[in-house]
Structure 1
Amino acid sequence: MEARDPRRWWILVVLCLSSLVLVIDSMALTVAVPPMTADLGATAQDMQWILDSYILVFAGLLLTSGSLGDRFGRRRVMIIGLVLFGAASLAATYVQDPIEVIAARIAMGVGGALIMPSTLSILITVFDAEERNKAMAAWGSVSMLGLVGSPVLGGVLIDHFSWRSIFFINVPVVVLAIVAALALMPESKGPWQKPDPLGAILSATGMVALVWWIIEIPHGGSLITLGIAVLALVGFVIWENVTSSPMVPLALFKNRDFSGGSLSLTLVQVGNGGLLLVFTQYLQFVLGYSPIKAGLAFVPLAVAALIGNATGAALAAKVGNRALVLTGMLVMAGAFVLLATVSASTGFLVAAIGLGLLGVGAGLAMPAAISALMGTIPPAQAGVGSALNDTIQQAGTALGVAILGSLLTSGYRAEMPAGAPAEARESILGAAGDPALAAAAREAFTSAMSTTFTISAIGVVAAAVLAAVVMRGRKPAPEREEVLAG
């Protein structure tokens, strides 16, 4: 048995910091949507692209960046990603129009794509099967702290400065993560293999086209874009199965824990896709919360997720990952059903209970599912294997945002009075001037939100069934085949 790295828990701190910067950015940006929209004069489509351009690039480059980490060094690729992410965040503080914000978000997406696969791949090579669930739980707990802390921090910054400060807050976190990585983390690589440039081109083209098509579903989509996605991804699968040095080990899908865990997480991400954005709008536009108060409203979600993470880490060895995934997802489905009952007159109590249940369920299910599928990946292919998992989840997130966003928009329009002005029928913000119209808009929004959360519940139940049928019990970790440098 190989000796454990004595610095492994310090290394985990670095990985948590690296992931935390992505969580902070995502949640703080969500809270900043209303003031950013007003200040930049952004349209609803502009804001959709500000949010989705990041996902588009992030998902498109994950597989390639995971392969780069395995080939050139995971720490090196992660640090390059942190530098790029921090520089793009700094540039975003000086933007003057929506196009410039979108450009900054694209650069941040490239940086995020370099960061995320490296964090998970380093984690599974540093921690063995006995400690991996604990490390995953700690990693998930830090993300949850960022989930609740970043909206509150973002709200404070917006109230005292402006929405631009939510980008600047990424910079010190990035600097700290880079310094810690250089000081504490050893370099690791997979064994040398021939590069696969055609695989990289096909995967990036296919994923960008697929996510682009998903994003455009509410506007009808494009058969040309879908055709490019299908041709590129089918070509990618065929090429990876015939080349002597495949970039992505597609044989991983033959393992039931990997395929079941990945597909379950995809369906969960579809259900969760629009939750934070939709609920933030409910808090601010329907309940009239300030950005700070809206951030604090997510405290039940974060605290409950921490409890779920700790409980799941303690139970994983006893009951196995599959049982935790199934239980957690059923709790999440119940939470979405409860959230679907929220209306304009309900207040926050029911929503708080729903968010708490959602946090417990996610805390139990997500680390267990990730641990199950990551435990099947050979450490030599840790980077591209974790990137494959991340890519599947990001496709689910993009699909969820597109489908649930479309349902929310169309449901809101259908519920608004026929004689309402066009701007009021397009957005709840457009109804703010007239008290009677604003009341109707709040009712229409919460009715559409109820439908959206009902669909989310169905998606999570489907994920639970898939997990129960496909996944096996906990599997032993593969043997290490790791090249350490430095």
Structure 2
Amino acid sequence: MSTASPDRTGAPSLPQPQGHPQRWLILGVICLAQLTVLLDNTVLNVAIPSLTRELHAATSDIQWMINAYSLVQSGLLLSAGSAADRYGRKKMLIAGLALFGAGSLVAGLAQSTGQLIAARAGMGVGGALLLTTTLAVVMQIFTPDEHPKAIGIWSAVSALGFAAGPLIGGFVLNHFWWGAIFLINLPVAALGLVAAVVLVPESKAARAPRPDPGPAAAPGPAAAPGSPDPGSGPGRPDRPDLLGALLSTVGMAALVYAIISGPTHGWTSARVLGTAGAAVVVLAVFARHESRTPYPMLDMHFFRDRRFTGAVSGAVLIAFGMGGSLFLLTQHLQFVLGYGPLEAGLRTAPLALTVVVLNFSGLGARATVKLGTPVSILLGMVLLSGGLVSIALLTEHGYAGTLLGLLLIGAGTALAGPAMAHAIMSAIPPAKAGVGAGVNGTLAEFGNGLGVAVLGAVLTSRFAALVPVAATSLPAALAAAHDGAERDRVLDAYASGLSTSQLAGAAAVLLGGVLAAALLRRAERADSEVAAEAGA
């Protein structure tokens, strides 16, 4: 039996090595809550026409309705993970569900754009707490042998959320008013609250002040559930790193805002450059502060571990490739091939279904165990890169080329994504599981935003160079076309821009796979040498 009973410090103990007896049921509840959060990243897009009409929302209002959620969520991920480690992961999971449910209720009943923007920001706070605590709880209730499969299922929910968001949103809007897309979150949040209170064990870390590890120290692999945390010990809990939380929140929110604003306001505009510059300065101050304080929220010594740096670099680039390429793919299906939004969503579904099948069946986890983390990540990134190349070069032959690319991207994501998340979490001590989940979520948010921004810029640049009329956007170019032949040339130019940007994404993903695999392989070799010396 694995329970979380309090120790003499007042902090609940970690689960025993055999895992929590109800861990698979808990995982199901966690995934349901996480799916709701992820759906809200995409479901609002299909409601934009209704919001514009019924709330008289301007373009700037629509942008803030969408961005308020992602800005708050991405800015708070590290702070939310740190709070979960300090105050209890179960408490933060319950708080996240309550905030997300309350924000959904206010959003569904909003009577003005200001109310809806504020509600979306509140939902972002709840979403940050949920995304970090769910992965941290998974690491606590499962045994190390079960981590690959459990993380694979947890990761598959992300793909399912991407595919299901537009479909669910379209269905709801066909039958109800726009507010219903938020109110459907309420029963899920209520179910999650009850299940969290009844089923989820509490876990948090009671730690002494961190000793200075010296220049040669680096975090080792995470210990098995129930074993002592090498970075913790008896004594009073460490003080909350309030300055670190403030700096990370401001820095990440500013960085994500700069990435989001780039395509609209121009990458060389004063707003974008100023915000990006401020983000870099604030994050540099954050890194310096974390390296000096005795109670860091994010221990900078983690970056001396090749496992951690390898997984971090790969995670950013896999999110870069996924986010950017799928953003481009939806445009290709609608603008070039002429599919409607719902039909385009259905035609991208094979990607998500491939991820779900491979991870829910455990095939991805078994492949990772058999091949090892470095090889799994490299193979997954090669498949993902091949899928992007297929979409770039074969879509002119019809949907068959796109389908092949989607299946390859799905298989690569199912293999590399969970292996990458597991590598990040296993390089961080169990006491910092919440911060590890925050790092993983922050990398995904940053990579997705960067992929959309950079590959979108490549598309715009290529299209502007090839378009036969004086316009830089597809709708404007089509409106300026004088006849059918010129219209066809505009579409050909746009298709060429899409192919070029997909190939750029493929190169970045392949580079990330090679880099991550090399760093992880070197880390494994170094660990083996240390173990051999210790044995000798």
Query: Which TM class, normalised by the smaller chain length?
Result: 0.7 to 0.9
Q: Give the whole-Å Cα distance in 2 for the aligned partners of 1:450 and 1:36.
A: 33
Residue equivalent to 1:480: none
Residue equivalent to 2:455: 404
Deviates more, 1:289-298 or 1:116-125: 289-298
Residue equivalent to 1:154: 169
Deviates more, 1:31-40 or 1:163-172: 31-40
| Structure 1 residue 466 displacement after superposition | 0.9
Q: How does 1:338-417 map to 2 (within 5 A)?
A: 338-341=390-393, 346-417=397-468
**Paired residue type of 2:239:** K
Q: Give the whole-Å Cα distance in 1 for the aligned partners of 2:444 and 2:141.
A: 23
Residues 321 and 474, structure 1, Cα contact 8 Å, conserved in 2:
no
Q: What are the ranges of 5 or more consecutive residues in structure 2 without an aligned counterpart? A: 1-15, 207-236, 528-536
Question: Which residue of 309, 315, 324 maps to 1:259?
Answer: 309
| Structure 1 residue 419 displacement after superposition | 5.3
Question: Which residue of 192, 197, 207 maps to 1:177?
Answer: 192
Residues 77 and 118, structure 1, Cα contact 8 Å, conserved in 2:
yes
Q: 1:269 to 1:252 in 2, by over 3 A?
A: same
| Structure 1 residue 98 displacement after superposition | 5.8
Residues 57 and 110, structure 1, Cα contact 8 Å, conserved in 2:
yes
**Paired residue type of 1:211:** V
**Paired residue type of 1:240:** E
- Please give the secondary structure, in 2, of the residue aligned with 1:130: coil
Question: Which residue of 379, 403, 418 maps to 2:469?
Answer: 418
**Number of equivalent positions:** 473
| Structure 1 residue 190 displacement after superposition | 1.4
Residue equivalent to 2:260: 215
Q: Give the whole-Å Cα distance in 1 for the aligned partners of 2:455 and 2:89.
A: 35
| Structure 1 residue 418 displacement after superposition | 1.6
Question: Which residue of 219, 228, 239 maps to 1:194?
Answer: 239
Residue equivalent to 1:453: 502
Residue equivalent to 2:135: 120
Residues 18 and 143, structure 2, Cα contact 8 Å, conserved in 1:
no
**Paired residue type of 1:236:** F
Residues 163 and 345, structure 2, Cα contact 8 Å, conserved in 1:
yes
Q: What are the ranges of 5 or more consecutive residues in structure 1 without an aligned counterpart? A: 477-486
Superposed CA offset, 1:222-241 (max 9, x none): 44323322222122111111
Q: How does 1:425-464 map to 2 (within 5 A)?
A: 425=476, 439=488, 442-464=491-513
Superposed CA offset, 1:37-69 (max 9, x none): 677676766655444333322221111111111
Q: Give the whole-Å Cα distance in 2 for the aligned partners of 1:410 and 1:45.
A: 24
Q: Give the whole-Å Cα distance in 2 for the aligned partners of 1:85 and 1:437.
A: 49
Superposed CA offset, 1:396-425 (max 9, x none): 222222222333344444444425698932
Q: 1:181 to 1:436 in 2, by over 3 A?
A: farther
Residues 217 and 403, structure 1, Cα contact 8 Å, conserved in 2:
no
Residues 388 and 405, structure 2, Cα contact 8 Å, conserved in 1:
yes
Residues 129 and 375, structure 1, Cα contact 8 Å, conserved in 2:
no
Q: 1:431 to 1:314 in 2, by over 3 A?
A: farther
Residue equivalent to 1:7: 22
Matched, 1:25 2:40: yes
Q: How does 1:9-408 map to 2 (within 5 A)?
A: 9-32=24-47, 48-95=63-110, 101-191=116-206, 192-218=237-263, 219=266, 220-221=268-269, 222-309=272-359, 310-341=362-393, 346-408=397-459
Q: Give the whole-Å Cα distance in 1 for the aligned partners of 2:117 and 2:398.
A: 35
Q: Give the whole-Å Cα distance in 1 for the aligned partners of 2:178 and 2:504.
A: 32
Question: Max radius of gyration: which structure?
Answer: 2
Residue equivalent to 2:518: 469
| Structure 1 residue 286 displacement after superposition | 3.7
**Paired residue type of 1:311:** L
Q: 1:413 to 1:43 in 2, by over 3 A?
A: farther
| Structure 1 residue 70 displacement after superposition | 0.9
Q: 1:79 to 1:441 in 2, by over 3 A?
A: farther
Q: Give the whole-Å Cα distance in 1 for the aligned partners of 2:474 and 2:112.
A: 21
Q: TM-score if structure 1 supplies the norm length?
A: 0.87
Residues 85 and 111, structure 1, Cα contact 8 Å, conserved in 2:
yes
| Structure 1 residue 197 displacement after superposition | 1.2
Q: Give the whole-Å Cα distance in 1 for the aligned partners of 2:305 and 2:52.
A: 46
Q: Give the whole-Å Cα distance in 1 for the aligned partners of 2:371 and 2:134.
A: 27
Q: Give the whole-Å Cα distance in 2 for the aligned partners of 1:45 and 1:294.
A: 26
Residue equivalent to 1:481: none
**Paired residue type of 2:127:** G
| Structure 1 residue 261 displacement after superposition | 0.6
Higher relative contact order (CA 8 A, sep 6+): 1
Identical residues among aligned pairs (%): 42
Q: Give the whole-Å Cα distance in 2 for the aligned partners of 1:199 and 1:210.
A: 16
| Structure 1 residue 337 displacement after superposition | 0.7
- Please give the secondary structure, in 2, of the residue aligned with 1:181: helix
Q: 1:31 to 1:337 in 2, by over 3 A?
A: farther
Q: 1:37 to 1:271 in 2, by over 3 A?
A: farther
Q: 1:369 to 1:95 in 2, by over 3 A?
A: same
Q: Give the whole-Å Cα distance in 2 for the aligned partners of 1:261 and 1:355.
A: 24
| Structure 1 residue 445 displacement after superposition | 3.5
Residues 300 and 353, structure 1, Cα contact 8 Å, conserved in 2:
no
Q: Give the whole-Å Cα distance in 2 for the aligned partners of 1:334 and 1:308.
A: 18
Q: TM-score if structure 2 supplies the norm length?
A: 0.80
Residues 30 and 134, structure 2, Cα contact 8 Å, conserved in 1:
yes
Superposed CA offset, 1:200-227 (max 9, x none): 1111122122222223333225443233
Q: Give the whole-Å Cα distance in 2 for the aligned partners of 1:464 and 1:93.
A: 42
Residue equivalent to 1:484: none
- Please give the secondary structure, in 1, of the residue aligned with 2:40: helix
Q: Give the whole-Å Cα distance in 2 for the aligned partners of 1:37 and 1:140.
A: 34
| Structure 1 residue 306 displacement after superposition | 2.9
Q: Give the whole-Å Cα distance in 2 for the aligned partners of 1:233 and 1:201.
A: 10
- Please give the secondary structure, in 2, of the residue aligned with 1:418: coil
- Please give the secondary structure, in 2, of the residue aligned with 1:217: helix
Q: Give the whole-Å Cα distance in 2 for the aligned partners of 1:213 and 1:313.
A: 36
Q: 1:101 to 1:11 in 2, by over 3 A?
A: same
Residues 320 and 474, structure 1, Cα contact 8 Å, conserved in 2:
no
Q: 1:419 to 1:266 in 2, by over 3 A?
A: closer
Residues 41 and 70, structure 2, Cα contact 8 Å, conserved in 1:
no
Q: 1:13 to 1:422 in 2, by over 3 A?
A: closer
RMSD between aligned alpha carbons? 3.1
